[in-house]
A and B are shown apart, each in its own frame.
Chain A
Amino acid sequence: MFSHLAILQVVVPLMGAPACFMLGKARLTWLMSLLISVVTCAISIGLLLQVYQQGPISYALGGWQAPWGIEYRIDIINAYMLLIVSAMGALVLLAAKDTALTDIDEHRRPLFYVAYLLCLAGLLGIAATGDAFNVFVFLEISSLSMYCLIALNKDRRALWAAFRYLIVGTIGATFILIGIGYLYMMTGTLNMQDLAQRLPAIADNNAVISAYAFIMVGVGLKLALFPLHYWLPNAYTHAPNLVTAFLAATATKVAVYLVIRFNFFVFSPSWADFIQLGNHVLLILGSVAVLWASWIAIRQTDIKRLLAYSSVAQIGYMVMGIGMSSLLSLQASLLHLFNHALMKGGLFLVLATIALRLGSVDTSQLRGLAQRMPLTFWAFVIGGLSLIGMPATAGFISKWYLVQAAIEQQSWLLVAVVLAGSALAAIYVWKVVEVFWFTDKNTASNTRHLSQPQVPVTMSIAMWLLIIANVYFGIDTRLPVTLSEMGAQLLSGAS
């Protein structure tokens, strides 16, 4: 049983999806999928413990040994990613009780859970596999189900947003496929570890360089890396609220993981000059993303869209960490993966709660929210403070490491970028807080009558777990710091 954990991690949600489809009833499907996601989460904890104690796990799929068969390889970074994705998946699903899905037609709600589990399986698969082609397969599984999830929203604009994401995502996936194809052509292998051993010998080959470029652009599209991010704000804004929470907390994180995996493991700065160039490009794009997207976020009036642009900016931080490519900066990047999942997961759940009660997340409708929903308001403030990077929140920790990494390289400009991003975040978070805080006599009384169904208890629990986690992991940082440190050491050992 325990030796099969690596494959169970993916198979459980993958098989769970059709099982849920058979059930048909929304409430039943929810319970079933919740059970599955909790089991998945438990498996990821088990895997993490195993890896932490015994080192990397290699699992040969179907008994076919690597590099010929498909290998599932779980090292500390994989385990860390699996934990983030499965935990966030379970928490968002906890919130996604069928009565909370008011923005999805009733007869489509069971489908939500099916697509959700498929998407979860895909994302977990990417994080678990050690095979480059398998990455592509799981990427497609997760992407296709993600398009469905977005399109489930009653709002017709969701269709258009999903379609745009579909086009962009497909181009990205195709690029990745081309890149992997080139690599296979040059080396005759698809196993990532095997690739890492064979590639240095042909480092100067143009096909290898093009493969790298294709993969980076493809992953950059999935990652919503500036300037390839245009699909993201629309997708986040028009997706059903809980889908946005799931998307923000997991999908882009997995894409960041792919960048790290390809930049420091399959390829490596130690033997390929073009990686260094690539890292420079990433550094520049990440910095621009931080500043530019934060700036755009300030001007948004729809809070979902505001947070979506904020996500683009926060992705910029992670990419900056990758671009600086030092031990400390990689650790900062990995830390921010974790912390940002907590912040954005938490904040989008807060928004989902607000939307459920008031039916809107446009700033003009939410004046005086602090009086009507004080607890939810405080949840937003705490999540927002974490986003800004106030001390004693998770956001502070990742910012601390990132600034330290920049100081270590004496690049004061990057220090300024990180801090400016933080200051801009303070502006856009506070813009929302201000709207909530001050009452406007006209709208305050009107919207009260619009108050819609009661918020399910599970949703409040999930929201508060995430919000409290933001504070908890800002104070007791042992788990993420230890894991990210081990991860960063592994990566720089490989490079």
Chain B
Amino acid sequence: MEYSLALQILILLPVLLVPAIVLTKNSPNMREAVSLAGGVVLLCLAIFCYQSLASEQPTQVTWLEILPGLSLSFLIEPYGVLFALVASFLWIVTTLYAIGYMRGHNESNQTRFYACFAIAITGVMGVAMAENLFTLFLFYELLTLSTYPLVTHAGNDKAKTGGRIYLSILLGTSILLLLPAIIITWSLTGTLSFQQGGILSQLDSPVLTSVLLVLFVFGIGKAALMPVHRWLPAAMVAPTPVSALLHAVAVVKAGVFSLLKVCGFIFGGDLLASLDVTQWLLYLAGVTIIISSLIAMRQDNLKARLAYSTVSQLSYITLGALLATSLSLTGGAMHIAMHAFGKITLFFCAGAIYVACHKTQVSELRGLGKQMPVTMVAFFIGSLSIIGLPPAGGTWSKWYLVMSTIDASQWFLLVALMLSSLLNIVYLLSIPVQAFMPVKNNPVQGIKEAPLFSLGAIVVTSLGCIWLFVQPQWLLDLIQQ
């Protein structure tokens, strides 16, 4: 098969699954089989694209020219492949998990759920493989819109409010900040292609480039840099599989991935280093890391705590992108994968606890380790990965990020990263530790582990965290290509 064909199918496949999902709505088993099979094929395609990187010719596809010089085109490049691999693999796992969760929980409108999920994955693949900013923007917006029905799945007033915040921040930032940034870039340079070394580098106006950088950094609201992070906690009204895949992996990673691409291939490291505003944005990323960790500590709702933890972790990647040295970009890109596996495990555990015993508050989890040992061990491993301790994959990405801050003499950021690790230990590790503590008067009886599908998914992702610690080399090779 041609690489270019694989690339196109990779992007179109999930959306082509939608009719199949809708047609099989009367037989849930078929419907979920379609989703799963689609996920497996998608992963194979992503791996195939990964292999294409070894060939000499970069694989590029142009669909059509929307406006003169402005085309809808895709390119296989290392970062994108990394993102596509992570997202497609976790889509399979999440579908497995969702089967257990949605049935165990008797959710309504499941067909709509799987259909929108598939559309969102197309959005992710489009963002990952976008050759230029315009294509990226198109799929970025598709991702925002297709996840709205998922966020508001419950259909009650709380979902409505959450959905409003979600959409208004994500759409608002993209229309008011990101779109003008893109159009200004287009007017200034006449191109929107991602290029090595950036396309704005010949520009001779520090003020304008600074403004552009600010527009981009805040315009990509999905990266959840404070103060545009509010949508992420608001999106937690969604069913847990949605929070897991979309708000720990797909949507938020699409945000930081876009930021990586913009910083690395629109601005370029040299230009970023020469701008004063970069330093301020770096400080802001550091502040976001610490403050959201502090907020996370005070959350008793488990999903809210995880959401703020995600806000904090996303700023790790933002930080890596803004430093834009090869070390920091490597660390940032690695963290996309590492955090994805760690956080999705944690969300899966939160959902498993909810399905099994309808508990949502951290304070209620004491002593639960006896009833749900697998879940709690997985939670432990996931937490280790987020904190950045062996034997979990998060260690490596944190290693690179810390190295890059030392390399760039950014002492404040170094302190922020270290402090954040400590805070992570407090607010994440305390949960499994408390769960395994013996409780004197044990009121919880008759609680079993979550449905088998969900449990399987949890095991897979937590093993993934460990595997990424043992085998980080291919990831490094991929990123540094």
Residues of A participating in the B interface, judged by any CB pair closer than 8 Å = 385, 388-392, 397, 400, 403-404, 407-408, 415, 419-420, 422-423, 426-427, 430, 434, 437-439, 474-477, 481
Q: Which of A397, A403, A404, A438 contacts B155 (CB 8 A)?
A: A438
**Cα–Cα, bound, A248→B112 (Å):** 34
Distance from A45 Cβ to chain B, minimum over Cβ atoms (Å): 24
Q: For the complex formed, measure the closest distance between the CB of B258 and the CB atoms of chain A, giving whole angstroms.
A: 14
CA distance A249 to B315 in the complex (A): 47
Report the minimal beta-carbon distance from A189 to chain B, rounded to whole angstroms: 40
**In the complex, chain A residues whose CB is within 8 Å of the CB of B141:** 390-391
Main SS class of interface, B: helix
Interface centre among B68, B149, B164, B179 (most CB of A within 10 A): B179
Q: Would you call B176 and A423 a contact (CB within 8 A)?
A: yes
Q: Are B187 and A408 in contact (CB under 8 A)?
A: yes
Assembled-state Cα–Cα distance A391/B186 (Å): 15
A390-B145 in contact (CB<8A): yes
Chain A neighbourhood of B262, CB < 8 A? none
B171 at the binding interface (Cβ < 8 Å): yes
B175 at the interface (CB under 8 A from A): yes
A426-B172, A475-B72 given. 18 additional CB < 8 A pairs? A385-B145, A390-B145, A391-B134, A392-B138, A392-B142, A403-B179, A404-B187, A407-B187, A408-B187, A419-B179, A420-B176, A423-B175, A434-B160, A434-B163, A438-B152, A474-B66, A475-B64, A481-B68
**Nearest CB in chain B to that of A403: its residue:** B183
B67-A422 in contact (CB<8A):
no
User: Lowest 9 CB-CB distances: which A-B pairs, in order?
Assistant: A391-B138, A407-B187, A403-B183, A423-B175, A422-B175, A419-B176, A426-B171, A390-B141, A423-B176
Cα A400 to Cα B163 with chains together (Å): 27
Which residues of chain B have C-beta atoms less than 8 A from A403's C-beta?
179-180, 183
Residue on B nearest A405 in the bound complex, by CB: B187
Name the A residues within 8 Å of B231 (CB-CB).
none
Which of chain B's residues 285-309 have a Cβ closer than 8 Å to chain A? none
- A166 CA / B145 CA spacing, docked (Å): 42
Interface string of B123-152 (1 = CB under 8 A from A): 000000000001001100110010001001
Residues of B within 8 A of A (CB-CB), count: 29
A-B pairs with beta carbons under 8 Å apart, 13 shown: A385-B145, A390-B145, A391-B138, A404-B186, A419-B176, A419-B179, A420-B176, A423-B171, A426-B172, A434-B160, A474-B66, A475-B66, A476-B66
Residue of A nearest to B173 (CB): A423
* Residues of B close to A419: CB separation below 8 A: 175-176, 179-180
Shortest C-beta distance, B108 to chain A (Å), equals 11
B437 is an interface residue with CB less than 8 A from chain A: no
Nearest Cβ in chain B — how far from A445, in angstroms?
16
- A397 lies within 8 A of B160 (CB): no
**What are the residues of chain B within 8 A of A430 when measuring CB–CB?**
167
Contact of A391 among B64, B137, B160, B167 (CB under 8 A): B137
- For the complex, is B184 an interface residue (Cβ under 8 Å from A)? yes
Produce 1/0 per residue, B391-411, CB < 8 A to A.
000000000000000000000
Complex contact B171–A404 (CB within 8 A):
no
Closest to A402 in B: B183
Q: Which of A392, A407, A426, A438 contacts B175 (CB under 8 A)?
A: A426
Interface SS of A by simple majority: helix
The distance in angstroms between the C-alpha atoms of A481 and B141, with both chains bound, is: 23
Alpha-carbon separation in the docked complex, A408 to B137 (Å): 22
Known pairs A391-B134, A430-B167, A434-B160; A404 contacts B183 (CB<8 A): yes
Q: Which of A388, A392, A407, A439 contacts B184 (CB 8 A)?
A: A407
Chain B positions 149-205 with a Cβ under 8 Å from a chain A Cβ: 149, 152, 155, 160, 163-164, 167-168, 171-172, 175-176, 179-180, 183-184, 186-187
Q: Which residue of B lies closest to A419 (CB)?
A: B176
Contacts of A476 in B (CB 8 A): 64, 66
Q: Complex formed: what's the CA distance from A438 to B175 in Å?
A: 25
CA distance in complex: A400, B66 (Å): 11
> Known contacts A390-B141, A391-B141, A397-B67: does B172 contact A437 (CB below 8 Å)?
no
A262 smallest CB distance to B (angstroms): 29
A419 to B182 alpha-carbon distance, docked (Å) = 13
B11 CB, nearest partner CB in chain A, Å: 14
Asked whether B138 lies within 8 Å of A423 as measured between CB atoms, the reply is no
What is the distance, in angstroms, from B289's C-beta to the closest C-beta of chain A?
Answer: 29
Selected contact of B67 from candidates A385, A426, A427, A477, CB within 8 Å: A477
Chain B residues positioned under 8 Å from A477 (CB to CB): 66-67
A422 to chain B: which residues have CB within 8 Å? 175, 179
B144 CB, min distance to chain A CBs, angstroms: 9
The residue in chain A whose Cβ has the minimal distance to the Cβ of B183 is: A403
In the assembled complex, the Cα of A434 lies from the Cα of B166 at a distance in Å of 13
Establish whether residues A415 and B64, one from each chain, have CB atoms under 8 Å apart when the complex forms: no
Residues of A within 8 A of B149 (CB): 437
With A and B bound together, what is the CA distance between A409 and B188 in angstroms?
A: 13
Taking the closest CB of chain B, its distance from the CB of A388, in whole angstroms, is 8
Chain B 440-480 interface residues, beta-carbon cutoff 8 Å to A: none
- Output the nearest chain A residue to B109 by Cβ-Cβ distance: A371
Nearest residue in A to B67 (C-beta to C-beta)? A477
Q: Give, as a whole number of angstroms, the nearest-CB distance from B183 to chain A.
A: 5
Question: How far, in Å, is A178 (CB) from chain B's closest CB?
Answer: 42
With a cutoff of 8 Å between Cβ atoms, the chain A residues found around residue B171 in the complex are 388, 423, 426
Given the complex of chains A and B, what is the CA–CA distance between A423 and B174 in angstroms?
10
Chain A residues, Cβ within 8 Å of B155: 438-439
User: How distant is the Cα of A9 from the Cα of B187 in the complex, in angstroms?
Assistant: 40
Nearest-CB distance from A368 to chain B (Å)? Answer: 9
**Shortest distance from the beta carbon of B222 to any chain A beta carbon, whole Å:** 16
With both beta carbons as reference points, the residue of chain B lying nearest to A401 in the complex is identified as B67
B66 x A415 contact (CB < 8 A): no
Choose among A390, A415, A426, A437 the residue that contacts B152 (Cβ–Cβ < 8 A). Answer: A437
In the complex, how many angstroms separate the beta carbon of B129 from the nearest chain A beta carbon? 16
B64 engages A400 (CB within 8 Å): no
Cα A419 to Cα B184 with chains together (Å) = 13
Question: Which chain B residue shows the least CB distance to A385?
Answer: B145
Q: A167–B253 Cα gap in the complex (Å)?
A: 58
In the complex, the answer to whether A400 meets B183 with C-beta atoms within 8 Å is: yes
Q: How far apart sit A474 and B72, CA to CA, in the bound complex (Å)?
A: 12
Q: How far is the CB of A313 from chain B (nearest CB, A)?
A: 15
Which chain B residue has the least Cβ–Cβ distance from A328? B187
B72 contact set on A, CB distance < 8 A: 475
Report the minimum CB–CB distance from A442 to chain B (whole Å).
Answer: 14
| Chain B residues with CB below 8 A from A439, complex form | 155
Report A247 CB to chain B, min CB distance, Å.
29
For residue A103, give the distance in angstroms from its CB to the closest CB of chain B: 32
Q: How far is the CB of B317 from chain A (nearest CB, A)?
A: 25
Q: Are the CB atoms of B183 and A407 closer together than 8 Å?
A: yes
Taken together as a complex, chains A and B put the C-alpha atoms of A364 and B163 apart, in Å, by 20
CB contact list, B97-137 vs A, under 8 A? 134, 137
Bound-complex Cα distance A481 to B70 (A): 13
- Chain A residues whose CB sits within 8 angstroms of the CB of B183 once the complex forms: 400, 403-404, 407, 415
CB distance from B72 to the nearest CB of A (A): 8
How many angstroms between the C-alpha atoms of A388 and B68 in the bound complex? 22
Contacts of B160 in A (CB 8 A): 434, 438
The interface centre, meaning the residue of B64, B66, B134 with most chain A CB atoms within 10 A of its CB, is B66
Query: What's the Cα separation between A422 and B180 when bound, in Å?
Result: 12
B155 to chain A minimum Cβ distance, whole angstroms, is 6
Q: How far is the CA of A407 from the CA of B66 in the complex (A)?
A: 20
* CA distance in complex: A290, B321 (Å): 37
In the complex the two chains form, is A400's CB within 8 Å of B175's CB? no
- What's the Cα separation between A389 and B168 when bound, in Å? 15
Question: Which partner residue on chain A sits nearest B167 by CB separation?
Answer: A430
Shortest CB-to-CB span from B435 to chain A, Å, is 37
CB distance from B297 to the nearest CB of A (A): 34
Residues of B within 8 A of A437 (CB): 149, 152
A385 proximity list for chain B (CB < 8 A)? 145
Q: Give Cα A430 to B141, complex, Å.
A: 15
Closest Cβ–Cβ distance, residue A375 to chain B (whole Å): 12
- Measured CB to CB, the closest approach of chain B to A129, in angstroms, equals 33
